[in-house]
Structure 1
């Protein structure tokens, strides 16, 4: 509904405005959007206007938000069309947005509660926010609405008309029975009055006789005035006919009532003149409205012309950019030789720096559940790790090469090994280390099926001026399967230790079910909710204890929560669940220990035996005398102030110890072969 020159100026607030008079239980809807400051100012205005000082008749508030699904999604620093994003990722992004909106509305509800005002929230979804508001007004029969009037760039203190397209659309299209206050920066800019009919007027309109009068407020818009004038005009035109057909004794009495008859005629003429005057006013209003519609049509035509001109300019701009690209290619061809020399120098520099970065970083990361770095090959630009004979967890879950399935005891121990390694990395000082590529193929198993993490790659440590919680970042994006990647990392690009927690949750669910990661999270959620978790457990792992399976499933689902703040801490929450399982599973494992092998099986090679402990070595170290000892035994020997060799009794030239990786791998391979 468009305002006209004949309408009175929009209502402006004053310092002495009193609270709006409202009936008890009446609901005032307050439209809030994504701009928190503007929405908060609008809500505070509504609280001041309708709820303060009104006593028992105070209105209740409904916080209304129309959610419009995004056309583009921010992924990895780019805006990707929603049509090109998988349904699962789109649903996850929508859930995060709706959760954010719900949290914001909860803050507004808290503000209302502090003012002792009853309030509730309503979120609806529509492709178009303005049309969605119009539909909600009609569907919920809203009679009072408070909303914004203009964006920040359009607002001025002297503004008296609506600047926002959305506000103008709603002012035209909303149900006429709804009164709308348009607010900007906590100031009333414009108030659209509603067409209100009293109870008496509604009853009189249903009768067959009598004249029904409708009052037209001067601040009403043209559309409202035209609608009311037409209704009143039709009622008035029919009325003389009804009066003439009404039985009236004074009309039949003849000459005795002649004077009264003349008076009735005069009144009738007066009514006709008033009807003619109203008809003329309605006609003039109709003409003004048609004029405004013509002006609106012309404005649309100008907008279309501007759009065409814009596309032409964009075409010219693209042509200029193509020409500029051609020129830049020609310039680039002139500097190829310089670039080649720079690349050659850079390559030589990297060949010298990369091995140094690898002593500096990976050599300091030592843990029983991390793959040991043996060395680096400068010429091949390669890293050399210890040999892991049982391959990756991904291969073992798939029983590749007809390997034996992992029993549930081993799977429980593998989960504990991975958790222990992650706790170690995340608690590194002064900067935490984020693996960022945790997946089943990067978890390797040694000869005793002890799990160790691999796949760190070359990385750098960020300083505090970047992300305070992001301490280790990869040069390339994570190369793992999409199902292991933290959804919030895909949206924001922020990498934190909680990203590893999400990947660990997927691995826990894979250990339980033996299935691939695609769609696994949803399957486990449904199974837990229906109480049929046993139906999806991997039967090849043996009979899972119901309590352990339920606990691992709950931990895995919590680790995979889409919101990082809800994911558990590995050391204080997850490890307290896994540690009792690890002790129980270790006691039940049937694999032979190092000591039992040396006692029960003959034919153990002599060089596998520690000269001090006389037992099969687990972590062999080479001392300065050239002999190899068990790490624990030789360190205890040296810590006891011994300066001589345990074998030759000669003084040791130094106290340094070197890992004997070749012997360690040979011992593990021999134990695996003889243990089976």
Structure 2
């Protein structure tokens, strides 16, 4: 009975084997596309697919990229979402309305700008993440910084083995319904360069326009392919293998469930199935045909798919029947059964038994082949792993090569920029050389012109020499007439002095407008300010083409209009070589205009202001004699003597030849000459004014101003000339030095080697003048002058014209036309002063322009300059 059940079981096994082979071969018959379809995402994804990740490449334009992201969210089919973004740092940075290459900027500026770009990138990616969260999807993000967006996307696909990618195909504005392939440069590059294991959907304006399918090669893994492809193929094989195993298990279950039915069918048809070999039963023929088909099928060489089916079928047979048959055949269990061998020989068909033995042998052979195939499969998997490793190493080498290539490209870019900079600098140098060449040519032309000018000047110089010789001859002729002219000038001076008392002030000096005063001082510029006094500020100016000193009344000055009028009244009538000349005044501004003295005040020279050299002792003796002469002149004026009242070094001015001139007569007083006894001294009761250190102690105590008050101030000045020390306590110091015989130690060493006899004589004279008792002070015209006048001659400075250095003529005394001292100066309409005869000859010869400016004269009126003429006559008389 057991043997009778075997043929049916074998048939059932053969039928299930054929079905399993057919199921297993289905995959190989459909080919590779069928396997790819199994890997594509479905509407209801499998557990393995749920672990997959769809990457969405998004750019900086949120409005355009958001449509691509929404498409991915609606078509992800259960896969996770990852936002992929390539950040491209700017190579040019906007500066002042233009874009400048980063190579020309400082590193900290470039880093700061790129850091701002990265912060903006983070904000943009956060926006994409929020869009996913609003759609109920928790998205991840993957970012990379590269100079090329499309190369960065391809590199990330290789590095992260991306299988599913969605990205934009073109800008929204370029979209049309007929678009069926990507248009943008980035999309085309990714489509061509991305690995084949990655499936890419190209989206434009939220519409899917193109899909680049992934390509899998089944089990045979190409080593040259990227590593991700081998991994995908391995996964496909594992999926297919699991499906085949599942089908094999279902076949075994069906076999086990159908075995009782087949056994029952065999028992019912026992006589028909197992007749003798000579009988021609149709079932026997059918079994023979099926066994023949099975033998033919089992002898075939299995394909890739059938190998897995054969292996599975062999395992089923080994587990169910074949092992049992093999144990019976090998160990004699079948012979130990209750049925004897003779009964078997009588009831069993020899041919069927032979076929069973063949089937067992073939099953064992198939099991051996399946085991060998398993070894081959394991070897193939090992080879695939090795190929995967080699491909991964190749990928790393490719990435390293790409990095080196980028570095080389960046180096080439920097070299190109440096070359451009060098070309730009070379152009600048070339331009500079061109300009220098032009300047050289210009200088050569100027040199030629200068040579011609030198020749012309030489000719003019020869003519000037001849003219000078002629003028020298004329000067010698005029020198003969000088004595008679001087005599006539002396008579004229006396006559003018007599007329001065009765003539008005306006005849002796000029009146200026405030506009002229302001214009001459450049609106009272601080650069032209040369001094400050009790009356106000003093400015240097150029008034009517004459350099003058202008004293402006200060609003808070201790002096006022009374002092202004008094100084005008006195100086307009006084003429002395050692008294400053008043050129004019401006009544509307209470301004006084004096001749300009270039060496400043005696105070400035004694203190060596502005690093000026100290005065030599000979010059100091001459200044003392000149000051004494001016005081004698003031005190002896008729009909009233004049007391200066504010004598000090700051009011003693020095011209270019260090000739002293007394100034600042604002607080002076007139003393009438009356018939008084010899013991009587004229005085003027007034409020004490002036500088305390030089003020007469009796005047300070009583308010009585006398001529002896000026003698006290003169004595203090003389002591300062000797010692160079400040005025405070100077009389006591000199007196103490004389008493102890230490006068040499007190003399100013910067003045040179003083002659001690003269210095000691001057010291005694100065102390007698600075006596606190007014009655003990000497007379200037008799006692003081008698000492100073011989010393003045001893120093070789008896007069202003004793040497060529001292005989320089003031420039404003010279006529611009005749170049001689003017005798009758007149002011023309151009503001310049000329000799009357010279200007009249100029106008009578037909000229109507200015000899100085060559501009047309408004009129031919000539205004006599009485002030200048009087000053010239005084100067000529003293010389």
TM-score for both structures, normalised by structure 1: 0.38
Larger radius of gyration: 2
TM-score for both structures, normalised by structure 2: 0.29
